[in-house]
Amino acid sequence: MIFEYLKMRANVGDEEFNKIYPNRLYNFARRNWTPVEVARHAAHFLADRPDKRILDIGSAVGKFCMIGASCTEGHFTGVEYRKDLVHISKAIVKSHKLNNVKFIHSNITDIDFKDFDAFYFFNPFLEHIDVTCRIDDSIETGDKEHKEYTNYVREQLDLMPVGTRVATYWSNLEEIPPGYHLESARFNDELKLWEKKLPRK
């Protein structure tokens, strides 16, 4: 019923939503998963027309994609490096019959951004340099990985056409290249909504 409530634009709290996940992940919810209202607001900005293709960079347990798929007519794809989190996301989507969302187990550097129209990320590479926000020890960490992934996202966004939309949450904005204009900032300025206004130089 949780997704039906979202479709009806009813208020859904994070405590209630996060119960769909296994108990072992619950302690990560507050810091690592996007809050419901933030996800809803970002999704409406990114899916500004039907059939918009949105990529969530570092989708973790898929919370943003599931909320976006429930409250908009966009198509949401989450890319996540941890296979177990992808399995959890896929299982929830299947059991709740969410049709406009899918999840990919992949490294972000293997994703071609030109397959998408808009992008969301909640500081996905921070755990490579901040041990306090790591979910587990299953991925390589360090400055090298953080720089590689950040640079790849910035380069891919730079190649996107004028009109591309991006939503960032708790980001240091290293991934945003020149040419993107800050349209608005919400939730104590932690959610920033961007649109590309200038072509690549």
At residue 137, the pLDDT reads 66
Contact (CB, 8 A) for 168 and 140: no
Pairwise CA distance, residues 43 & 76, whole Å: 9
> For the whole prediction, is pTM greater than 0.85?
yes
DSSP annotation of 168: E
Q: What is the length of the chain?
A: 201
Structure tokens at 153: 């996202």
Q: Which residue has the tokens 């708790």?
A: 170
Laid out side by side, the sheet with 165-169 consists of 101-105, 75-80, 53-57, 118-121, 165-169, 191-196, 180-186
Domains and CATH numbers, the chain: 2-196 (3.40.50.150)
Which residues are CB-neighbours of 43 under 8 A, at least 6 positions away? Answer: 54, 64, 67, 68, 71, 72, 74, 76, 120
Q: What is the pLDDT of residue 129?
A: 53
Reading the chain (201 residues) residue by residue, the pLDDT tens digits are: 788 888 877 788 998 999 888 888 877 777 778 999 999 999 999 999 999 999 999 999 999 999 999 999 999 999 999 999 999 999 999 999 998 999 999 999 999 999 999 999 998 776 655 566 566 666 666 678 878 999 999 999 999 999 999 999 999 889 999 999 999 999 999 999 999 998 887
In whole angstroms, give the CA distance from residue 71 to residue 91: 20
